[in-house]
Each structure stands twice: as structure tokens, then as C-alpha cells.
Structure 1
Amino acid sequence: MVTTMKRIVTGILAHVDAGKTTLSEAVLYTTGQLRKPGRVDHGDAFLDTNAMERARGITIFTEPAIIHTTNTTITLLDTPGHVDFSAETERTLRVLDYAILVISGTDGIQGHTETLWRLLARYHVPTILFINKMDAPGASKTHILSQLKHRFNDACIDFTTTTNETTNTPALAGVMEEIAMQTEHAMNEYLETEQVSVATIQTMIEHRELFPCFFGSALKMEGINEFINGFETYTQEPNHTKEFGARVYKISHDAQGNRLTWLKVTGGELHAKALLNGGNDETTWSEKADQVRVYSGAKYTTVESVPAGAVCAVTGLTHTFPGEGLGIDQSAENPILQPVLTYTLLPGSNDTHKCLMALRELEDEDPLLHVVWHARLQEIHLQLMGAVQLEIIQQMMHDRFGLDVEFGPGAILYKETITTPVEGAGHFEPLRHYAEAHVLLEPLPEGSGMQYATTCSEDILDRNWQRLIISHFKEKEHLGVLTGSPITDIRLTLLVGRSHLKHTEGGDFRQATYRAIRQGLMEARAGVPNDASAFDIAQRFAGDDTDHDTDDANTKKNTNGDTPTGENATTEAMPCRITGMGNCRLLEPWYRFRLEIPQDMLGRAMSDIQRMSGDFDTPQPTGASGSEYAVLNGTAPVSEMQDYAMDVNAYTHGRGRLSCVFAGYKPCHNTEEVMKHTNYNPESDLENTPDSVFCAHGAGYPVKWYKVPEFMHLDYAWNGMQTQ
């Protein structure tokens, strides 16, 4: 009888120090993949292949290991546990068939554990839990199970039982009724047979209706056999299509500098030398997969092909990015996690351009490392998750590129958005150039990021020009007009545009598009009414700063799209600096926190949180170490709470515990203070100007943003109705 081997890709996730890598080593040893289990603290863990990981004793990069059991081939992806590298973990979730969530039996559910649980729910990953360190003093199975049911799901059920020696499957008689209560189908089956079949349990786990919990000690090899046996029994291989599909989850570079695209084959088969296609309507690519490598730890085998359900690394691809789908698997999803801090690179004696190129390569590998070049300041700014990530980047700059650099003090990464829709117009017409674009800026719900669309008729503007404008929407980080911070939670929609048959080049629409977005943001900040006419807008800000003739032939729009003419076609308006926010909003990152402190210090903690402009739920009593403690759950600005853990440790004399996770961007609690400190003038930022350029007498001339509606060649296209 031939047993068909099933293929399972699973990731192992945990809060830092829960014993995740130790469990990986224990599983590898128990299944015969290792002669001796490694240890993180000894620097010899099989899956910590990088020198920095071995030196620091933490997992930084997701690495695969191949495990063979009786009837299953498991690709185990060991992910980072530190919150600063949670982006590496998040993008790995898209390729997992199952997840193993490791929880410390002594510490229980910690802040980052909750973040991982929410991510697993968002990506619909079936999850099996291993509660580690149960040999340690104070570890209580009853307490942990109660915590899991209360804070995660009632379907977290203890599967740590004896094994049926006849069938070699776990014996779940003691919890069978509890399993049956999770779904109607399982209950009907249980009432008829007094059992819930393995097939039904498999389906319940796959649909996230059941979360098996195994207890043990990875360091002492306790509970490992039961865990492996349970994992093998209750997992099932997903159905794969015959047509090729793949999902990219990681980009890296090997020791020889080859760019590696790590992916999971989700359908069909991937062959070496195969031609792969990717991109979207605006940017498409087609490249050959030179080598296909199957890694296990630091070693790899070059293969001719890999089947669906397998993970591999491919050389020869230069345009791929984490999260990209290939073949039939084209869906994409924006990550939840976002960088919250920004640092300035101090290159020292190193060439700035060389530093920028090195950081671009690191940015290619890590989607949550954003490298921004400020041409006006001639500075490189890094946006990232935290100080530990910064230390790793500094070490990689030294080890990989031979660049010893430092970084300035960290600052909060603010963002900006709008509260009402507004139409922005941009015109770019120096001599022998021509482009005009009108863009609708609409606010989106919190956490939506940026979205892009077009409603412009192809009878008005050719499709190729429209695609180019959409690419200009996406190609850069557009800055707001309050503090010069990146904009977010806005949909940009091309309403209408105009080109010239002879004079329009691609770069002209880049200029027109950028200016239209900035002009719209300036109108939003100024609080321009949606139904204001071009004359109203110009008069509102013009005052006595202009003496130009407003004759239609001289300064109004030229309906033929040709160069306007006239003796007084120039405008020399004084800068019109707007104060206040109008319909713009400054956003800042917030933490969701969990603060566990002695009851007698609860008043101090509540006072501190209120002082930090945070909020919290009703305090909940809890037992910890035999004493009465209270738990505060709430949210607070990162700017106020980022160093609060040290204060908690001081005033509780080490008995308090604070855990924080990123909770998204919310309205800034001290906008005026931040704006005053930043002192940003959007009209002086020539790299991101809101003004337009028109042409008269064979020469281009600038027009202030608030006068653009009076000069533009196309009418306002938005009638106040929301786009669909």
C-alpha cells in the first residue's frame, strides 16, 4: 500500500523569549533532522543562520526547514519574535497553510502575542498552539487555558492527551464533548456516534472553528512527540490548482550578491528557466527564473522543479516584491503593520550616494523599511519600527557594504490626511511642454492607506496618458501641507486631463499630477468650499497682491489647449501662507497597551495615562504571583508612551509589566505643538510645490496655487458627488 505524502507549509510564531526557536530545534531533533538540538543562547540554532542572529540570540529573518514525518512533508518557517521585525512575520503569513503559535507557560499572552493572533485572524490562517515552559515554577495549565479562552477564543481546547497505540492517533475522549460544542455539524455527529471524526476535526481547524492546544517544554523535550503526532493527524493539505500560481513572501541576497525571491508555489509546478510574469496594468514585467533552490537552514539544493505546496528561492527575478502574486495567484493585501519612527542617516566620511544605494537594497528586502531621500536637505531619512531594527540595519551596513554609519535621534513618524473631498488642479506648460490634470482627493476610513482610480473618459484623455498619471500617483510618497509628512487614507482619482499632440512628454504629466495633488491639499487646508468657483478661490486669497488683467484672452483658460497670449498674462502674487488645519488632519501612531500593576498603584497608572492623552477601559482585577494585581487595557500616543515601560519598572519596583502593540494612526493629540516645532511652509517646499506653470509670449510663468482655478484650461470636473 502506497501512502501519499501530504505537503504542509507551517510557520512558527511567538512573542520574543517564548521559546519559539527552541521548539523548532526540538521538532527537528525529534523527527531525525538533527543529531543534536541547538540552542539560541548557545548560538548554534539550526534556523538562526545569520551571524547577527547567533550573536544576539534572536531570530531576525524567516528561515525554512524541511521536516519529514510518517506521511507528511512539513516546510517549517521560523519567524522573528521581536516586535521590531514583525513585518517579516506578517508577510510570511500569506504563504502558510497552518501556523504554530507558541506561548510561554509562565508569561501567558503578551502584547505581541495578541498582535500575532489578530494577524492570523486577518489572513485566515488555521492555528495550533503550543504552550511552552510548562516545567517552570508558576506555570499553570488551568490558568493559561482560561486566559486563552477569555482573550482569544472559546475554541482553544487542550489536545495534550495520550496516544491510541492501536491507531497511533491522539485519544481525545476527555475533551470530545467540548470539541463537539464548537459547531452544529460536530454536535450532530457527536450525538449520533459519541465521537467527532478526525475528518471533522481537520475541517474545524482549517476553518478556524477549533484551536488545538498542546502543553510541554521544548527545552526538556516534554510533549514534543504528542505535538508532532497531533499536528500530523489533524492537518490536511490544501487543494491546489493545476494552473501555475505563486506567492512571494520575502526578498534577500545570498553571499555572492544574488537576489533571491522566496515564494510558495500555490498551484501547478515551477520549473527552472520558466518565464514568469508580474506587475499590473501600469507596470508589467517578464523575467526568467534562472535557478530554483530548496533551502533547509543555511543549505540548499538546486532543483529542476518544485510542486504546488512547496517553498523555494528563485534567482534571476529583479522586479518582485513581498506580497506579490504570480500566475493565477494575483491577489494582494496591504500590510497592517506600519513604521512609526524616523531617523536621519549620518554618513560620516562615507559617500552619501553609496549609502543610499546600500539602503535601497535593504529596503528591497524589508517592505517596512522606508528610505526617503530629501533632495532639499540632502539627507537620507529612514522610517522603521524601532531601535532594535535600527541597530540591525547599522550592523548590516557594516557587514555587507563596509559602511560605518550612525543615525540621528529618532522622531515620531507623523502622517496627514483630509476630512472632506477636494479637487486639485495642476498645469505644467513651460515652452514646448504641455499637461493639465485634475485630481479628486477623497478621505478614506482609518487604516485604508492610499487608493487610486480614474473616471476620466478616454475620449478626453488617451488611455496611455491615464495609465501614466496613475503610475505617478503611486510612484512617490506624496507629502501633506501641515508638517510635510506623508499622506494616507486618501483616494486619488483622475477626473480629467489634457495633453498636446506635439508638446506633451511623459514628464509633463508627472509635474501636472504632483502639482494637482498639492494644490488640492492646499485648498483643503485653506477650507475652500467644494462648490467654490474659480473666481471665488482666486479672490479669497488674492487680496491686493495682484494687478494683472483678468481679460479672458489673457489669463483665463485657453479652450484650444494652445499657449495663451496677451500682454499681461503673467502673475506675481505674494506668497499666501495659510495657518491652521482647515480640512487637513495630522495623524500620529498610537499604541494599544496592556498594563499589569499592583492594585495599590492603579491610581498612579491611571493618572499617567490621562496625562499622556491616552484612554483606557475599566480596570480588571487579576491574580499574579499570589498577589492582587489590576490590568489596564487602552490606547495612547506612541510619542507619549514609548519610554513609559522604564517608568513602570521604577515606580512598581519591577512588579509592573507594560506591553505595547501598534494600534494604527489616529488624530494627533498635540497638533499645534507639532506644527509649531516643525515650522513647515508648503509654499517654500519647491520640491513639492502646489503652484502651476503656464505659458505666454514664448515663456513659462508661475501661477500661485490659489489662482490656478482662474487660469486652468479645463473646467472643474467634480460636481460634489462621491466617486464609486
Structure 2
Amino acid sequence: MMMKKITIGLVAHVDAGKTTLSEALLYQAGDIRKWGRVDTGDAFLDPEKLEKQRGITIFSHLAHLEKAGVQFNLIDTPGHIDFATQTEASLNILDYVVLVVSANDGLTSYTKVLWDLFAKYQLPVFIFVNKTDLVADKTKLLQALQEGLSENCLDFTDQDNFYENLATVDEKLLDEYLATGTITDNAISRLISHRLVTPVYFGSALKLQGTEELMAGLARFGRAIPDKDDFSGQVYKISHDPKGERLTWLKITGGKVRNRMELPNSEKINQIRIYNANKFTTSTEAGMGEIVALTGLQTTYPGQGFNHRDAPHASLIPTLRYRLKPQNMDIHTAWDKLSLLKDEEPQLHLTWSEALQEIQLEIMGPVQLEILQQELQERFDLQVSFDEGGVLYKETITRSIEAVGHFEPLRHYSEVHFLLEPGPRGSGVVFANECSLEILANNWQQQIMTALASKEHLGVLAGYGLTDVKITLIGGRASNVHTVGGDFREATYRGVRQGLMELKLRNACQLLEPWYKFKLHLNQQLLGRVMTDIQKMHGEFFEPIITGDSVILEGQAPVSEMRDYANEVRGYSHGEGQLEYSVAEYRPCHNEAEIIKQAAYNPVADLANTPNSVFCYHGAGHTVTWDQVPLAAQFPYQYPLD
């Protein structure tokens, strides 16, 4: 009979004692001889140099242990909120999660954020209340869990009332208990796996109290996933070993993997590694329930499923934006090196902004920023500094106009007419063609449509990218003698800009700014301050959701106002408040005049995007300013303004 294999993850808020618990479990199972400590830098599951220096878990790590005939894959996740994206990435491969709660700290806001994540991933939970040697009132601790998380958090160490407490959760169990005086382990396992019951254990990891009971409960009531013959798997992490070898971390959810096996993405496995912290052995194959690191795969990504659904979109996303400034190399070389980090951590949101000519990154918090700076120095010899990056605004139009572009230097000729119309919010820039072949030959029309799609069209207010605009080709002119390739490209670019300048003159151009959708967890006493802050940010919010001493406030606010608010929340909530947000949409800019003044953009002076046209007079090309182009073209508007 094959040994049952179960993957568990240890998850907690910072300083709850999560890594100490992992050390205790490995030590008691005989997998490590020396019991390490986080604060002394010798914890088995904090093997990286940065983790030893900082005394915190930064990366998720894997270890193995056996208990009562069960083989456990144990994943220790970061506890600091700045590395929460690493924690969430691990959730999708877990069979069970062990939530560690400090008896001293109780239920923090971050603990409740984690609890919501477990619900999203439908993860069954075991709770270990740590440091109970310092807080002896177990009844009060259990009551706090039942009020703050779920009323079905039950004390699995209370043997006197164990079955009686369980029987109250389910009517069938109540009947079974009344008839037999007991409840089967299978029935209890079902309750746990369906999240109808959350077992709670109490103890002190540092003193090896309650840890044996926790593992015995996981071995007794934990269920392994059903066997499948066909291969399937879930990627949860990408990393690189010290020699630069790319590692794809995969949980096998069905069948087997073998050396040289071709995966559904058509890549072949070179090597199968079985890791225990930072040490590994190689294997020719691995089976269902195992977690392996595979080499030879270059296109895999965290969350990818092989014959298995991809992981859900992450809930915890970076909330702070910075501009990265290389100190010892040019920006393009730095970007090439940073691509490795982008590969490993998609939620780092590392991007190159062509418009701003800068590398931007979004992160969870200042501690992550410090770690990133050290990591770049040690891994890539890349010295960087950070400063606040700019918000990427966009521009649109609020009414329609016909635009004209003309390009006629000596021995060249082209003219185009477009209809510019406002598009639905979020539609981007859309191109259409309603020009008759009787007016302009098909080959010239195709050149125009290609030119339209080949360029990012900039607005004329501050030089940001155009969006939510429909540009329709409605007419044009060509010469049988003088029109050559490239002429219509020039006329096209000039025509779009000419129309935008006409609209600017009529106050029909608009600056848009990105808005965050936010969710804020914090103590109810701080609600008044937060609501005032959001109003000052020109934001909006829904009715607060109040549970006990905690409150959840959801709403939207401009990115420019809210992007640094996470730091403020950490400060005034003493680390207890948790702000989650993501870009929701673009809306009209709340301080348009101020942003336009700061940009100091002159659209006529932007020669790469000129709105002016070229006409031929007396055998030579002459520039005609945008406002005189319709008159010079002697072509009346088909779609005049009101």
C-alpha cells in the first residue's frame, strides 16, 4: 500500500512563530537534528542569505516529514505582509493550511485577510494557537477565533467534549453520535475537507508543546487527493539555482513525471529534483502528490496548470509604485538582468514604460523594497536606487470632428480625412474604414489603415497615450504621378494630430487618470479617519462592513492620491491595517489643469508628432499650420462641428 501524501502550508502573520513551528515539527519527526531559530539565523527553512541576515522568511520553502504513516510536504511561507504574494502563490497547491495565530497578538487584520484567501481557494484549515504558555486563557482565545473567523472553530484538544462539539455541526452526525456515542474519523475528515469544521490546537512551538498533537491530527484527519493515472500538475513557483539554472516548481496532481518527458507545452524535462530546503536529490521519475523542481523548461509561469486549471488571479497585489534607477549600468542592460526577477515573481509588476523611458515596479511595501535592492546587488551586481515614479495618465476626446492631413513636398502627394469620435470607456483606440473605392484606391486605403495601427497616438494636452477614441477613414486623395510609398503614412499621422488640435481649441480633449479599487481592513476605531482621508483623496466608498472591533471599507480612489496610502495605514494602525488595491479603470482626471501645467507639453513643438501639414507651392514644399490645413486643402468638412 502506497504511503498517503499530503501537502500542508504553514501560514501566519509576522512574528506568530510560524517558522519556529516548522522547526519543531521537523525536529520531532527526526528530519533535522539541530533545532534552528529565526532570530539566530540558523532555521532549516530560512536557508537564503537574505533570510539569515533579516531573521524573517522571505521566500516559500519546502521540506518533508513523516508522521503516523503519512508523508507530508511542508511549505513554510513568508509571514511579513510585504511578501504576501509569495504566500498566496503557494496556496493553490496545498491540501491543507495550518494557520498559526499568536496568543499574544490574537486576530490581526492580516490574519483575517489570510482567512478570506483560504475561502477563495477553498482550503481546509487547521489552526495552531502558538505561545499559549504566555497566555493561559484557552477559552477566551477560542472564543476570539469563533467570533472573528468562524463559529465552527472547534477545540480538538478538548477530549471530554470532543464528539459532542462536533455533533452540533451536522444533523446526520448528531444522529450518529446519539445512536453510537462516537463519530467516525471519516466523518470528521469530511467535515474538515468541506470547511465545515476548523480544528484548533493550542501550544508553544518553542517549548514543543502541542506540536505532536497537531501533527497527529493532520495525519489522522487529513485526506490525500484521489489517485489519477493521467499526468496533471500545477506550477506554483519559478526560481533559479546558484548556477543560474531555471527551476519550475510543480506539484504533481495526477500520474507521473519522468526524465525527458514532454509536457503539454511541448517542452521536455531535463532533470527532476526533490528539494529539502536548499538541498536536493535527483530522481528519474516522481509520482502523484509529490512536489518537484524541474529543469529544462523556459516558458512555464507561476500558477500554470498542466492538464489542470490555471491558478485563480491573485488577490494580494503590489500596492506601491517606484521608479528604479540603475547606478552602475545603462537602463537597457539593467532591464535585461531584471527580466529574471520578472520571470520568478510576476506579481512584482516590473515594467518598462516607453512613454516615460523608465523602469517601474510595484511592490507590497518598504521592507520588500530594501530586500529587492540587496538581491539585485548580490545576484546581478546591479546597484540601484528608487524614487517615486510618475502616474501614467491617458488622454481622450469628448466630441466628434473631421480631421485632415496633407503631405505634398515636391514630387509627393497624399491627403487623408478621418472622423474622430469618442469611444466607450475602456475601449482603447479603435480603427475603422468607411472610405469608398471610388474616392481612394484600395492599396492606398490599406497603407493608411496600416499606418494608423503602427503608431501609439499621443494626446495634445500633456503628451500621454490616446485612448477611448474611434478613428474612421472617410476620404482621401492620391496622385497617379507623384504618390509613392510612405506618403500616406505621413499624411495619416498629421491628420490625426490635426483633428486633436481642433478639439483642443474647442475644449473637447480630456485627461484621464487611473483609479484604484481598494479594500481596507482595520480597527473600527480608525474608521472616521479613513473615511475623511478617502474624501480628501477625491475617492468614494461603500457602506462599511463592521464585525466586532474590525471593519472593512471598500471603494475607489485616484491612483495619484492613494498610491502611498498603504504606508500611512501601516503607520497610524501600528502595522495592523491592511490595504489591498488594484487598478480598476481610467476616469476624468480630478486635477487636470495641474497635471497639464506640470507636463508643460507643446504639441506643435513635438516634431515626431506634428499636427502641421506640407503643401507644394511654386515648386517647393511649405509647412501649413494645423489650423489652416482645411482651407489650404480646399476640401470642406463633411462632419462640421456644431
Alignment TM-score, normalising by the size of structure 2: 0.76
Q: Which residue of 2 aligns with 1:111?
A: 109
Q: Does 1:524 align with 2:468?
A: yes
Q: Which residue of 2 aligns with 1:545?
A: none
Task: Choose the corresponding residue for 1:55, options 37, 53, 56.
Answer: 53
| Native 8 Å contact 2:88 2:314 kept in 1 | yes
The runs of 5 or more residues in structure 2 that have no matched partner are 401-411, 436-440, 480-484, 614-625, 630-642
Report matched runs for 1:57-96 at 5 Å.
57-96=55-94
Distance 2:357 2:467 in 1: 29
Report matched runs for 1:380-459 at 5 Å.
380-408=359-387, 410=388
Q: Which residue of 1 aligns with 2:621?
A: none
Q: Does 1:648 align with 2:572?
A: yes
Cα deviation for residue 397 of structure 1 reads 1.0
Q: Does 1:659 align with 2:577?
A: yes
Task: Choose the corresponding residue for 1:144, options 141, 146, 166.
Answer: 141
Q: SS state of the match for residue 63, structure 2?
A: strand
**CA shift in 2, pair 1:14/1:346, >3 Å:** same
Distance 1:58 1:208 in 2: 30
Q: SS state of the match for residue 368, structure 1?
A: helix
Report matched runs for 1:233-312 at 5 Å.
233-278=220-265, 286-312=266-292
Distance 1:80 1:523 in 2: 40
Q: SS state of the match for residue 407, structure 1?
A: strand
Q: SS state of the match for residue 72, structure 2?
A: strand
**CA shift in 2, pair 1:406/1:589, >3 Å:** farther
| Native 8 Å contact 1:25 1:45 kept in 2 | yes
Distance 1:7 1:682 in 2: 66
Distance 2:237 2:610 in 1: 38
Range moving further from structure 2, 355-364 or 604-613: 604-613
| Native 8 Å contact 1:439 1:494 kept in 2 | no
**CA shift in 2, pair 1:674/1:295, >3 Å:** farther
Task: Choose the corresponding residue for 2:594, options 672, 676, 679.
Answer: 676
Q: Does 1:573 align with 2:498?
A: yes
**CA shift in 2, pair 1:509/1:55, >3 Å:** farther
**CA shift in 2, pair 1:304/1:592, >3 Å:** same
Task: Choose the corresponding residue for 1:374, options 353, 365, 383.
Answer: 353
Cα deviation for residue 210 of structure 1 reads 1.3
Q: State the Cα deviation string for residues 650-686 of structure 1 (Å, max 9, x = none).
A: xxxxxx7642231444579994237733756798999
Letter in structure 2 aligned against 1:363: K
Distance 1:350 1:84 in 2: 28
| Native 8 Å contact 2:566 2:579 kept in 1 | no
| Native 8 Å contact 2:238 2:345 kept in 1 | yes
Distance 1:186 1:387 in 2: 50
Q: Which residue of 2 aligns with 1:206?
A: 193
Distance 1:687 1:253 in 2: 45
| Native 8 Å contact 1:594 1:660 kept in 2 | yes
What is the alpha-carbon root mean square deviation over aligned residues? 5.0
| Native 8 Å contact 2:11 2:77 kept in 1 | yes
Q: Which residue of 2 aligns with 1:486?
A: none
| Native 8 Å contact 1:259 1:316 kept in 2 | yes
| Native 8 Å contact 1:339 1:413 kept in 2 | no
Cα deviation for residue 207 of structure 1 reads 1.3
Equivalenced residues, count: 580
Distance 1:686 1:245 in 2: 54
Q: State the Cα deviation string for residues 132-187 of structure 1 (Å, max 9, x = none).
A: 111124x632333222222222211111245xxxxxxxxxx503233223234333
Distance 2:40 2:245 in 1: 30
**CA shift in 2, pair 1:415/1:351, >3 Å:** closer
Alignment TM-score, normalising by the size of structure 1: 0.68
Letter in structure 1 aligned against 2:43: A
Q: Does 1:189 align with 2:176?
A: yes
| Native 8 Å contact 2:544 2:553 kept in 1 | no
| Native 8 Å contact 1:292 1:315 kept in 2 | yes
**CA shift in 2, pair 1:659/1:112, >3 Å:** same
Cα deviation for residue 322 of structure 1 reads 0.3
Q: Which residue of 1 aligns with 2:38?
A: 40
Letter in structure 2 aligned against 1:512: A
| Native 8 Å contact 1:241 1:268 kept in 2 | yes
Greater Cα radius of gyration, structure 1 or 2:
2
Q: Does 1:592 align with 2:589?
A: no
| Native 8 Å contact 1:247 1:323 kept in 2 | yes
**CA shift in 2, pair 1:130/1:118, >3 Å:** same
| Native 8 Å contact 2:431 2:472 kept in 1 | no
Cα deviation for residue 193 of structure 1 reads 2.6
**CA shift in 2, pair 1:97/1:379, >3 Å:** same
Distance 1:178 1:220 in 2: 28
Q: What is the percentage of aligned positions where both structures have the same residue?
A: 33
Letter in structure 2 aligned against 1:199: N
Cα deviation for residue 35 of structure 1 reads 1.4
